Structure 1
Amino acid sequence: MPPQTGKEDVFVTPAEHGDPLEVLPPQLQKERQRLEKLFTVDTEMLKKITKRFGEELEEGLQKQGQNIPMNITWVTSLPTGQETGTYLALDLGGTNLRVCRITLKGGDAEVEQEKYSLPSSIKTGTSDGLFDFIADSLQNFVKDHSSDSQEDGELLPLGFTFSYPATQDRIDHGLLQTWTKGWDVDDVEGKDVAALLRSAIEKRKIPVKLVALMNDTTGALIASRYKDPETIIGAIFGTGCNAAYIEKCRNIPKLKSYDQNISKTGTGNKDDIMAINCEYGAFDNSHKVLPRTPYDEAIDNESPRPGEQSFEKMSAGLYLGEIFRQAVVDMWRRGVLFHSEPGRVDQDGKDRKNIEEPYTIDTEFLSQIENDESEELADSKRLFEATVGLPNGENQLKPLSPDGQELLFLRNLAQLIAVRGARLCACGVSALCQRQGVTTGHVAADGSVAIKHPHFRRRWEAAVAEILDSEVGKIQLTSAEDGSGIGAAVIVALNMAK
């Protein structure tokens, strides 16, 4: 395979029209070259990152408290595809709470669900505020989706998908290690989130029984194995990034510290298995190998948890738009962008936000810019004007309205950031493939970036092939079969069958 640079995906128009980026003015050309150098991750760097990834994965299996925690899940069996029954599932993600009623039908599933938007105050509020919100939502769902077949006094089994790193001593228990995805709820870290939820449920006398706690990546892995036996890894490429896989118990030295639970779960034989929730968003917190830019460093420094989740802050959906915004603001302040005369301050843009305000641009914004096929990028221009503005006097904003050359330049920047994100996301999974010695299989992915970005899969599969020196498509990205819902139900079914 020829050496790659990671630049092959940079936007150009059809050959007969030439490369529009070549006609950019000298100052923008210079910035384009600077940004390409900053954001390009070539094959050599991908392999270097993946090698270090493998080392940190092994460290996490050796003992507790490592950078990548490699959390024990107590999911010790794989689905046959014949599991049946009706179960409830709670999914606490980065932006929404989802409550589901899942009916497993032996390889298929019927899903009823409601989605509840999480107020921003919840994410940085109190423990009581968070778990009261979850329990109230669950209570409303159970009331609205009651079943005639449910007998009086019958407790519906519940699986709780908690998409944050937790240390589990058993399947229905989990101590929160640290908040991620920008969350910082008071008085939850170090506490058993299953017990906190159980207390809120009991206070309301909701007719459910919490049976299992799991991470969304573990759910994605198990849900996809329920239908697709070629699934080797479950992954999340969305607000955050993570993966789960099946490890042989004999390769997990730290399991020795769980002697009591091993005897109860029957995981003492050399060929027994354990699902591992990697929680690798914290990869390279020591900054030994990741090629961080000044914009990555700024995001880290300004985050609620500086120095944590370094890999996630460079590759996950929560941060890609902010990386773009940081770069744009830097170039505007240096006089590189937006030289046009100040525009009028209009009153119809009440939802428009100051470009200087963090997280005013999201990953969907970048996707829309990159995929704009309108003439002269008119759709992108309207998107900028409607979404963000530049300060123009006290407490006033003018629409941010890039000219034609700036739009081309900004689309190139959006693509550079998206390509880098996809290529970095390939490293963790590639390290797991190398660890397992697998060269083919399906990686079942959930999350907004994997599902909604039209180019992510192609870029990710190409990067995996570069790292593993294989053909593109040997390791395929597939859509996770609702890991936070169906996966939770299947894990509950597997646990109740023991």
Structure 2
Amino acid sequence: MYLNPVARYLKPSLDAVIFSPSTFLVSSHPLLYPFLVPHLPNTMSFSVKHFIKPPPLDFEPNRPAAVLRELTACSDAQKAAVADLQAQFSLSKEAGETLVDSIVSEMKQGLERDDVSMRMLPTFVTGALCASLCALLLRIRGCPGHALVGYHNANSNKQCREFFNVSGIPTGNEQGTYLALEVAGTEIRVAQLKLMGNHGQFSIHEFQYRIPDELIAGDNFSVMIDYITDCVDDFLRRVGSQDLFVYSMGVSFGFAIQQAGLRQGIILDLPQEYSYPDAIGKDVIQLLHDSIEKKGLAVKATALANGTDMERIQKVLTTLSSSSQFNSHTMYAVCTLLAQAYQAPTTTMAVLHGMGTNCAYVERLSNITKFKSDTPSSSDETIIINTEWGNFDNERSRLPLTWFDRRCDRESVNPHYQLFEKMMSAKYLGELTRLVLLYLVDSGLLFGADSSHTFNMSYTLDTTYMYVCEADDSPDLEQVRLVLETMMKIQDTTLADRQIVKKVCEIISMRSAVLVATAMASVLRLIVTDGVGIGPEGITVATSGDLLELYPGFYDRVCDTMKMLVGDLAPKITLVVVKSCRLVGSAIIAMMAEKACEDVVGL
């Protein structure tokens, strides 16, 4: 059955919000993010709930953390148990500096060889697009308008290098209108990005659609592609389009895709929500192109900026070899960097920290010694590196793992993999908290030594519940009560129970903030000591992700830890929260792809 988008599947999430470089600068107040831009030029309220998964609780985002100073209602035994947990999950300054040394050491090893946990993957993007992207990054260093770039040849099993001269380097003054399409899970997001020039000003229209239940399974995948095209058509009708104008569109699908070219992506696997046997092996970009052409839309998909979960890719790789695959956090980190680099030329690093965690940064090509042949001699030639820092210390020899971390890892779908990510990403924080609380229940110190069927089930304590608990400043912790009694089905909790739960949430989230700040400090040290360095105007670190943007007090804790670890470098570092980074980054990639087609023959 062919369905057109209708209002009940549509969620408007942003309407013509204009961003300037100053919009993205985060002040000393940890909660003055772009979410709170004053005087929006529209009448629609800007709700961050459209940028996270629909929460089961109606919580107010960006509330400050209400730190619980004392466990006033708890017994001495309960206080002692919580103090012991706090000691287990704490990281001293000395331990943090030691961890920085370990991360930097593994990063250097990852640049030298492939058999390390932190892969340090060059973000090879096919052909001239890579040249254009690298040219933008070279501009950050004030270099001439050319770039030496590498990419993975889809038609061979070896790393290849090609060299391009590119003129017309992006300066932040480009103008044009571009589209971005993202399909993630059962949600579709379409955005129109207008580059206004004027040192990086742009405006964005964005709408979010939901794929109806009727279309998540079938025997003709083209039907769902047609629905996606209808969403693009509906979007263009709502925001308006120009006659005789063809929009370039950057596309991102949350599928396991073998990306053999800038405009080619073979579907290897679909998310678990979908059941379309005929989709496997098809070129999703060609399907989209055919659907757009059939619909008669003035749109062309110029770039696929794609990725999916590494766990799924690993399974696929047991039977299929891929020429170029990245996980979703890989491309999201790169998109975050590009989205901010358009506005701030000092951007040389980007961090994603939400459901997953990753970092992309600008590295000298000459430092990537695992490519022994064709290594450029000039130290000014650079490329974006995806660190894959979530994999740090999969050997479990240097991370400050607790018993709870080890259990969470053992019971996960990918044991002994992405240990660092499991210690600090939103996907696992709720589960870690649940395991700690169950330990206290079994010790007879919480909930009267009784639990509930819901609470005993894995991953039922969503990380968003922790948001609510940490922000609760009521005397009796009524919002914590709501989480425990309504969501977790634990009856008749005491104030002591609620204080312990709130404190444990604080302990777990604090460690997450400290660990991500430690990882950021490690990358910054590598940049300063062995990499592109920090110029007189300093360095901008682009950040994105629900934890940094929404979790009460999280950003502040990251900043405090960063200041402690980087010392005198702190005044030269600007942390910026990037809005809609995936869509903005995808649209900028579309712009660069279009420009590369104009400037480089043979793409």
TM-score range with shorter-chain normalisation? Answer: 0.7 to 0.9
Separation (CA, whole Å) in 2 of partners of 1:25 and 1:95: 47
Match of 1:478, as an amino acid?
A: V
- Match of 1:253, SS state, is coil
Match of 1:200, as an amino acid?
A: L
Rate the CA distance shift 1:84–1:269 in 2: closer, same or farther, 3 A: farther
Moved more, 81-90 or 200-209: 200-209
Deviation of 1:273 after TM superposition, in Å, equals 1.9
Q: Which residue of 301, 304, 307 corresponds with 1:209?
A: 301
- Per-residue CA shift, 1:199-220, capped at 9, x if unaligned? 4314534543242426111111
Residue number in structure 2 paired with 1:449: 547
Q: Which residue of 456, 474, 494 corresponds with 1:356?
A: 456
Separation (CA, whole Å) in 1 of partners of 2:219 and 2:359: 29
Moved more, 359-368 or 156-165: 156-165
Separation (CA, whole Å) in 2 of partners of 1:96 and 1:415: 31
- Match of 1:355, SS state, is helix
- Match of 2:362, SS state, is strand
Separation (CA, whole Å) in 1 of partners of 2:259 and 2:171: 25
Match of 1:403, as an amino acid?
A: T
Q: Which residue of 191, 203, 207 corresponds with 1:114?
A: 207
Is residue 2:503 matched to residue 1:432? no
Deviation of 1:138 after TM superposition, in Å, equals 4.4
Separation (CA, whole Å) in 1 of partners of 2:82 and 2:440: 11
Asked if 2 retains the 8 angstrom alpha-carbon contact of 1:353 and 1:360, the reply is: no
Residue number in structure 2 paired with 1:46: 96
Asked if 1 retains the 8 angstrom alpha-carbon contact of 2:441 and 2:449, the reply is: no
Q: Which residue of 86, 92, 100 corresponds with 2:191?
A: 100
Residue number in structure 2 paired with 1:282: 391
Separation (CA, whole Å) in 1 of partners of 2:356 and 2:221: 20
RMSD: 3.9
Q: Structure 2: which 5+ residue stretches go unaligned? A: 1-64, 124-129, 137-169, 294-298, 307-330, 597-603
Match of 1:365, as an amino acid?
A: Y
Moved more, 483-492 or 233-242: 483-492
- Per-residue CA shift, 1:179-228, capped at 9, x if unaligned? 9xxx779999xx999x7421431453454324242611111111112112
Asked if 1 retains the 8 angstrom alpha-carbon contact of 2:249 and 2:303, the reply is: yes
Asked if 1 retains the 8 angstrom alpha-carbon contact of 2:267 and 2:284, the reply is: no
Moved more, 414-423 or 462-471: 462-471
Rate the CA distance shift 1:251–1:472 in 2: closer, same or farther, 3 A: closer
Deviation of 1:481 after TM superposition, in Å, equals 4.0
Residue number in structure 2 paired with 1:462: 560
Residue number in structure 2 paired with 1:141: 232
- Per-residue CA shift, 1:290-321, capped at 9, x if unaligned? 11222222222222222211111111111111
- Per-residue CA shift, 1:213-250, capped at 9, x if unaligned? 26111111111121123323111111111111111222
Q: Which residue of 423, 445, 453 corresponds with 2:514?
A: 423
Within a 5 Å distance, the mapping from 1:320-339 to structure 2 comes to 320-339=429-448
- Match of 2:476, SS state, is helix
Match of 1:72, as an amino acid?
A: P
Q: Which residue of 495, 499, 509 corresponds with 1:408?
A: 499
Deviation of 1:64 after TM superposition, in Å, equals 4.0
Match of 1:289, as an amino acid?
A: R
Asked if 2 retains the 8 angstrom alpha-carbon contact of 1:96 and 1:116, the reply is: yes
Is residue 2:258 matched to residue 1:156? no
Is residue 2:74 matched to residue 1:24? yes
Asked if 1 retains the 8 angstrom alpha-carbon contact of 2:442 and 2:449, the reply is: no
- Per-residue CA shift, 1:114-134, capped at 9, x if unaligned? 324589999xx9999999757
Between the two proteins, what is the percent identity of the paired residues? 24
TM-score (norm 2): 0.65
Separation (CA, whole Å) in 2 of partners of 1:464 and 1:290: 18
Deviation of 1:289 after TM superposition, in Å, equals 1.1
Separation (CA, whole Å) in 1 of partners of 2:403 and 2:430: 15
Match of 1:83, as an amino acid?
A: E
Match of 2:508, as an amino acid?
A: I
- Match of 2:342, SS state, is helix
- Match of 1:469, SS state, is helix
Separation (CA, whole Å) in 1 of partners of 2:267 and 2:95: 33
Separation (CA, whole Å) in 1 of partners of 2:87 and 2:206: 45
Residue number in structure 2 paired with 1:218: 334
Q: Structure 1: which 5+ residue stretches go unaligned? A: 1-8, 14-18, 343-351, 390-398
Separation (CA, whole Å) in 2 of partners of 1:59 and 1:158: 37
- Match of 2:177, SS state, is strand
Deviation of 1:71 after TM superposition, in Å, equals 2.5
- Per-residue CA shift, 1:328-373, capped at 9, x if unaligned? 123223322111899xxxxxxxxx9711122222222112111211
- Match of 1:457, SS state, is helix
Moved more, 68-77 or 318-327: 68-77
Residue number in structure 2 paired with 1:55: 105
Residue number in structure 1 paired with 2:348: 232
Is residue 2:392 matched to residue 1:252? no
Residue number in structure 2 paired with 1:379: 479
Separation (CA, whole Å) in 1 of partners of 2:565 and 2:269: 31
TM-score (norm 1): 0.78
- Match of 1:359, SS state, is coil
Asked if 2 retains the 8 angstrom alpha-carbon contact of 1:461 and 1:472, the reply is: no
Separation (CA, whole Å) in 2 of partners of 1:436 and 1:476: 15
Q: Which residue of 285, 291, 299 corresponds with 1:198?
A: 285
Residue number in structure 1 paired with 2:87: 37
Residue number in structure 2 paired with 1:300: 409
Match of 2:514, as an amino acid?
A: R
Deviation of 1:92 after TM superposition, in Å, equals 4.9
Deviation of 1:434 after TM superposition, in Å, equals 0.7
Asked if 1 retains the 8 angstrom alpha-carbon contact of 2:405 and 2:432, the reply is: yes
Count of aligned residue pairs for this structure pair: 449
Match of 1:88, as an amino acid?
A: L
Residue number in structure 2 paired with 1:319: 428
Separation (CA, whole Å) in 2 of partners of 1:255 and 1:406: 56
Asked if 1 retains the 8 angstrom alpha-carbon contact of 2:289 and 2:301, the reply is: no
